[in-house]
Structure 1
Amino acid sequence: MEKVNIAAESREGIGVKGALSKIRAEKKVPAVIYGGHKEPVSVTVTVKDLDKIVKAGKNTLVEIALGKENELALVKEIQYHAVTDNPIHADFQRVSMKDKMDVIVPLKLEGTPADVANYGAIIEHIMREIEVRALVSAIPHEIVLDITPMTINKGIVAGEVKLPEGVELLTDPEAPVVHLMIPKEEEAPAPVAADAAAAQPESSSTKGKKDEEGNLTKNAAAAPAKDAAKK
């Protein structure tokens, strides 16, 4: 397994106003090293060393030189500023080469199924990471999944992902990882007849008004005839 060597310094002035701003102004990042049945240690590491770890890939083993001692660790989290995207804090978990660890490993798809060209299928990558257990020395940076044989009738679930030797799957084996979708054709709207509006049934309110107007017209026509009869 690839290992990255970095140096760290014990962090002082914790809780002192302006201490963190001074650390970051020096191109350093506050961090903590914890786990391994030892007390947590607050340290600082350089931005350059953090970048080196990130470029090496997820689950990279890190050897941290701290004073006269060396600590073996994995990066559990790096926090970034919401605006500048600069690292603002890092968490390192101590590890032992003799112990197994539960870790999250990215899944990388490789290949193109024939049904993409044959039927216009779309690849839907549902699960992008899986949880595994392995010795520190056997933890992979990523797991490559060949999807070339996949068809629209048969996707891939977590239990079908080929794992490196010594790596045990912890994710639900039946959890879907990737499948193919056939895009639905949009139905064209039905044409509207030109006289459709004329064929619309009259509303009750409209009909009522016409009836009332009809009655008034008839009464008005009958009134002069009655008057003529009286005369």
Structure 2
Amino acid sequence: MVQTIRIEGEARELAGKGAARATRRTGRVPAVIYGAKQEATLLSLDPRDVMKELQKGGWQSHLYEVDVAGRTERCLMREVQFHPVKDNPMHVDFQRLAPGQMIRVKVPVVFLNEENAPGVKEGGVVNVVRRDLEVLSDPDQVPDQFEIDLSTSSIGDSLRWSDVMDQKGTKPVITGRDFVVATIAAPTVEEEVVIAAPVAPPPEAKGKGKGKK
């Protein structure tokens, strides 16, 4: 299930670059919550809270409950703008979730029984094309991972979206084709290259080119 994180925000009244600069001068990060056919909510955040989330990784797949003046907004963190030199957060965009709305997330793929795969036993290699699968999911039912069983996979086989053991009610963002997630590639054979030693030129005949005395 998707991780839900609570963040405390402070309301701000004015929009625009000047107002955002004024917010930064107070040591806070300007932010906005938009979407769900509602008016945008302007707020500011503690930069330490923002950096804490960014350092976790996978923040675009986390569900946030942002509290602004006692009102909680359920949303996703969609974009973070950084200072070009200092690399600290300058602005945060949140997308508000409407009731019943599916969210777009990336879910990691785990390959089971790799050591038992016939293709691997024959020397083949699992070539991972997509380590994460981007899907649409119910925000309360986001899977921690997808699993693909390799126990019957041979060299030359392709593992596709249809091979995911339990898709858990999600829909892939890639539509119209059963896309490849991984393949069992044949072992690489390296040809031995023999470099011949240079052949020394024959010794020059004694007295060659010289007149008889």
Do they fold alike, i.e. is TM over 0.5?
yes
> Which of 97, 108, 128 in structure 1 is aligned with 2:131?
128
Partner of 1:179: 183
Q: Corresponding residue for 1:167?
A: 170
* SS of 1:19 mapped into structure 2: helix
Name the larger-Rg structure.
1
Matches within 5 A, 1:32-111: 32-51=32-51, 53=53, 55=56, 57=58, 58-81=60-83, 85-96=87-98, 98-111=99-112
Q: 1:196 to 1:81 in 2, by over 3 A?
A: farther
RMSD: 3.4
| Uncovered stretches (5+) of structure 1, i.e. residues with no partner | 199-231
Separation in 2 of the partners of 1:110 and 1:84? Answer: 40
1:70-102 CA distances to partner (integer Å, 9 max, x unpaired)? 211112233445665543332211113x32324
- Which letter does structure 1 place at the counterpart of 2:77? V
Q: 1:120 offset after TM fit, Å?
A: 4.0
User: Kindly tell me: are residues 76 and 151 of structure 1, through their superposed partners in 2, closer, same or farther at Cα, counting changes over 3 Å?
Assistant: farther
Aligned to 2:121: 118
1:104 and 1:129 in contact (8 A); partners too: no
Residue 103 of structure 1: how far off its partner (Å) = 0.6
Equivalent in the alignment of 1:224? none
| 1:152 partner letter | I
Confirm or deny: 8 A CA contact 2:148 2:163 kept in the other structure.
Answer: no
Q: Runs in 1 of length 4+ with deviation above 6 angstroms?
A: none
> Which residue number in structure 1 is paired with residue 6 of structure 2?
5
Query: TM-score w.r.t. structure 2 length?
Result: 0.70
Q: Deviations over 1:28-78 (max 9, x none)?
A: 322221001112233212234335545485522211111132211112233
- Seq. identity, %: 25
Shift of 1:109: 2.3
The residue type paired with residue 29 of structure 1 is: V
More relative contact order, 1 or 2 (CA 8 Å, 6+ apart):
2
Aligned equivalents of 1:69 and 1:193: distance in 2? 80
Q: What is the rounded CA distance, in whole Å, between the counterparts of 2:154 and 2:76 in structure 1?
A: 38
- Whether the 8 Å CA contact 2:148–2:165 is kept in 1: the answer is no
1:225 — aligned with what?
Answer: none
User: Conserved in 2, the CA contact under 8 Å of 1:102 and 1:131?
Assistant: no
- Relative to its length, the structure with more helix (as a share) is 1
